[in-house]
């Protein structure tokens, strides 16, 4: 064998070309084998069903994760024209034949967030309002619905309803989730909501024809989408409608699609349906979109689509189109160097980047930073590269909390957020980026406990230091900014010495999310805080609350409690 190897070695030394040719052929053959195994080794899934369990309706196919009912049709398939057709005001008296299957429950609207986890103190997502009767022929919550007969939880139902913009979320039969804007049934005894959630044995998910209903307290604003358009609500027609909504078109065969497409073509961000008239315009002081009416006042069926509502001559149904409102998109550096340095101070994870986005839109000037973040610069925060003392930016982002650093600024906007939310947001940013998420292994490993132990005390000391050493501090709570953006943004801009045009602020409301909003679809389905963590954080909340009140400021928002 050794002699053979020596002969081969001598041969290839004399003719190296042959050696490299054989080597290339060997590598090519190996690559082909690898590719073949990659394609041939994958099993073919033909689709499987499991027989109905004890809590399932007959004929209901098992879809693994969830099955969306009639309201959204198929979750992954877009209808013709590229727009979802969620029938917001759909009548239940006329239904297509293919939707008549038992268990294929339907509904007609959407809006909410998360809540009760058997103890109703989960992250202020929702408030449990009781057990209600339900009827398969006329649903109590007539919005979108979905089923998960294996992993349904209270959080999952609330989160999915919230992402679609509903006000209520209801669970039934241990595995069914219904969303809606109005509860259209009477109360039932609490003892009748007695079925455990399929994916969360410690919680109740309704009963047989009984719904456990939650009111979603922090439902995401403007979350209800109608295809490419965003549903804004039902509003009374303004007095000077021809000025407030200057472009109009009579449409005898009216539908939401037609009106939205018309206003999109005319390049207006608002599409208002008024019976057979379609009106387009901008949000202005004449039509602020701040005073919503009961949607039943707009519930007149469309002439061109019986399962849609098209408003009336007096009450307009308004959608926001994909057209960008450019009245607040221009931004530049300050024309002259600022004489004072204004800090936009916050604990990490408290929404500083979002607040910068709002301030830039509202003022038209770039914001700066105490740091340099290339990813933020690439996303349009052009002040990120300037030195924080350059004087070319309207305010400076900072997370610093030492006396020397704080006294470097002449005034400050202090943004405070619920520590439970802020800690999780910063943990996600640290391990997943500005709009990413930390991996499950990080939450379950040693990283999360160590993070809370180090960062929770900082949440308190950050606020206390700014209250103590700050020269002129305007306190803004993140929760108040989300709830009442127009008023809170006016306060912030006022401190910056800018007189903001109201129409510009209304424009900001329509562009408020920006590029740094995490999707709610990957929120944790369990509480990462241990009782020891909660006890520690509750103590810090009380300390900050007391410090705020000692300075004649409003304390922390009520939704920080109970903890």
Q: What is the pLDDT of residues 376-435, one digit of tens each?
A: 887 788 899 899 999 999 999 999 998 999 999 999 999 999 999 999 999 988 888 766
Beta-bridge mates of residue 179: 169
What pLDDT does residue 407 have?
95
Task: List b or e across 24-51, with b for residues whose CB sees 16 or more CB atoms inside 10 angstroms.
Answer: eeeeeeeeeeeeeeeeeeeeeeeeeeee
478 contacts 426 by C-beta, under 8 angstroms:
no
CATH number of 342-560: 3.40.50.300
Under the banding of pLDDT at 50, 70 and 90, the label for residue 558 is: confident
What pLDDT does residue 519 have?
52
Mean pLDDT over 255-271 rounds to: 90
Q: What is the pLDDT of residues 192-233, one digit of tens each?
A: 999 999 988 889 999 999 999 998 875 444 344 445 688 899
Task: List b or e across 57-96, with b for residues whose CB sees 16 or more CB atoms inside 10 angstroms.
Answer: beebbbbeebbbbbbbbeeeeeeeeebbbbbbbbeeeeee
What pLDDT does residue 498 have?
87
User: With left for phi above 0 and alpha for psi between -120 and 50, is residue 59 left, alpha or beta?
Assistant: left
Longest CA pairwise span in the chain (Å): 103
What pLDDT does residue 515 have?
58
What pLDDT does residue 560 have?
83
Percent of the chain residues topping a pLDDT of 90? 48
Structural tokens at position 155? 């959080």
| Angle value at C-alpha 417, between 412 and 418, nearest 5 degrees | 155
Give the H/E segment covering residue 107.
Answer: none
Pick the most confident of 77-91, 94-108, 527-541, 547-561.
Answer: 527-541
Mean pLDDT over 63-67 rounds to: 31
Beta-bridge mates of residue 318: 233, 272
Q: What is the pLDDT of residues 317-345, one digit of tens each?
A: 999 987 878 788 888 999 999 989 999 99
What pLDDT does residue 523 have?
64
Q: Answer yes or no: is pLDDT of 266 > 90.
A: no
Output 453 or 525, whichever has higher pLDDT: 453
The rounded radius of gyration (Å) of the Cα atoms in the chain is: 29
Q: Answer yes or no: is pLDDT of 125 > 50.
A: yes
Output 16 or 414, whichever has higher pLDDT: 414
Whether the upstream peptide bond of residue 281 has omega within 30° of 0, thus cis, is no
Q: Answer yes or no: is pLDDT of 256 > 80.
A: yes
Q: Answer yes or no: is pLDDT of 465 > 50.
A: yes
Nearest to residue 329, comparing CAs of 306, 356, 360, 294? Answer: 360
Residue found by looking up tokens 């069903």 in the block: 49
What pLDDT does residue 110 have?
33
Under the banding of pLDDT at 50, 70 and 90, the label for residue 30 is: low
What pLDDT does residue 108 have?
30
What pLDDT does residue 37 have?
45
Per domain, the residue ranges of the chain are: 126-216, 225-320, 342-560
In this structure, the number of other CB atoms found within 10 A of the CB of residue 503 comes to 17
Under the banding of pLDDT at 50, 70 and 90, the label for residue 85 is: very low
What pLDDT does residue 16 have?
61
What pLDDT does residue 495 have?
94
Q: What is the DSSP letter of 353?
A: H
| Mean predicted lDDT score pLDDT of the chain | 78
What pLDDT does residue 55 have?
36
Q: Answer yes or no: is pLDDT of 308 > 90.
A: no
63 contacts 146 by C-beta, under 8 angstroms:
no
388 contacts 369 by C-beta, under 8 angstroms:
yes
Q: Tell me, rounded to whole angstroms, the distance of Cα 534 from its chain centroid.
A: 25
**DSSP calls for 134-194:** --SSS-SS-S-EEE-TTT--HHHHHHHHHHTT-SEEEEETTTEEEEESS--S-B--GGG--
Percent of the chain residues topping a pLDDT of 70? 73
Under the banding of pLDDT at 50, 70 and 90, the label for residue 31 is: low
Cα(266)–Cα(283) distance, integer angstroms = 15
What pLDDT does residue 390 have?
93
What pLDDT does residue 162 have?
79
Q: Answer yes or no: is pLDDT of 122 > 90.
A: no
**DSSP calls for 465-511:** HHHHH-SSEEEEEHHHHHHSHHHHHHHHHHHTT----HHHHHHHHHT
């Amino acid at each position: 064998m050794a002699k053979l190897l020596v002969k081969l070695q001598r041969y290839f030394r004399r003719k190296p070309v042959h050696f490299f040719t054989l080597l290339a052929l060997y590598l090519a053959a190996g690559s082909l084998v690898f590719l073949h195994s990659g394609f041939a080794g994958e099993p073919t899934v033909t689709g499987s069903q499991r027989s109905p369990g004890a809590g399932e309706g007959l004929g209901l196919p098992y879809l693994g994760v969830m099955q969306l009912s009639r309201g959204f049709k198929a979750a992954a398939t877009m209808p013709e024209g590229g727009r979802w057709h969620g029938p917001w005001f759909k009548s239940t008296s006329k239904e297509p034949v293919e939707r008549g299957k038992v268990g294929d429950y339907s509904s007609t609207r959407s809006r909410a967030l998360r809540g009760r986890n058997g103890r109703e103190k989960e992250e202020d997502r929702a408030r449990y309002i009781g057990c209600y009767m339900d009827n398969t022929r006329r649903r109590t919550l007539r919005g979108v619905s979905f089923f998960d007969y294996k992993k349904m939880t209270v959080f999952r139902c609330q989160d999915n309803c919230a992402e679609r913009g509903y006000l209520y979320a209801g669970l039934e039969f241990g595995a069914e989730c219904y969303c809606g804007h109005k509860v259209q049934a009477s109360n039932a005894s609490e003892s009748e909501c007695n079925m455990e959630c399929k994916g969360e044995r410690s919680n109740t998910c309704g009963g047989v024809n009984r719904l456990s209903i939650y009111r979603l307290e922090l439902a995401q604003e403007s979350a209800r989408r109608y295809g490419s358009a965003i549903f804004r609500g039902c509003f009374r027609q303004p007095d000077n409608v021809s000025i407030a909504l200057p472009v109009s078109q009579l449409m005898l065969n009216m539908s939401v699609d037609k009106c939205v497409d018309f206003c999109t073509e005319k390049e207006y961000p608002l599409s208002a349906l008024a019976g057979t008239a379609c009106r387009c315009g901008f949000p202005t002081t004449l039509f602020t979109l701040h005073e919503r009416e009961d949607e039943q006042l707009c519930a007149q069926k469309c002439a061109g689509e019986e399962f849609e509502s098209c408003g009336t001559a007096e009450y307009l149904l308004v959608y926001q189109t994909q057209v960008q409102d450019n009245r607040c998109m221009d931004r530049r550096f300050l024309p002259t160097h600022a004489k004072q340095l204004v800090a936009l101070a916050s604990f990490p994870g408290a929404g500083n980047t979002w607040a910068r986005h709002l301030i830039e839109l509202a003022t038209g000037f770039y914001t700066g930073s105490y740091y340099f973040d290339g990813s933020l610069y690439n996303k349009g925060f052009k002040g990120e590269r300037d030195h924080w003392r350059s004087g070319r930016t309207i305010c400076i982002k900072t997370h610093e909390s030492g006396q020397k650093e704080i006294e470097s600024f002449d005034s400050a906007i202090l943004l405070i957020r619920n520590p439970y939310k802020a800690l999780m947001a910063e943990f996600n940013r640290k391990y997943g980026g500005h709009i990413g998420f930390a991996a499950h292994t990080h939450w379950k490993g040693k990283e999360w406990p160590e993070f809370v132990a180090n960062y929770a005390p900082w949440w308190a000391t950050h606020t206390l230091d700014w209250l103590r050493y700050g020269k002129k501090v305007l306190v803004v709570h993140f929760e108040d900014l989300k709830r009442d953006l127009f008023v809170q943004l006016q306060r912030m801009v006022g401190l910056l010495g800018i007189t903001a045009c109201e129409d510009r602020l209304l424009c900001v409301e329509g562009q408020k999310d920006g590029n740094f909003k995490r999707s709610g679809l990957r929120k944790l389905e369990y509480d990462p805080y241990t009782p020891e963590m909660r006890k520690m954080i509750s103590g810090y909340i009380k300390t900050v609350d007391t410090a705020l009140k000692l300075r004649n400021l409003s304390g922390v928002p009520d939704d920080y409690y109970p903890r």
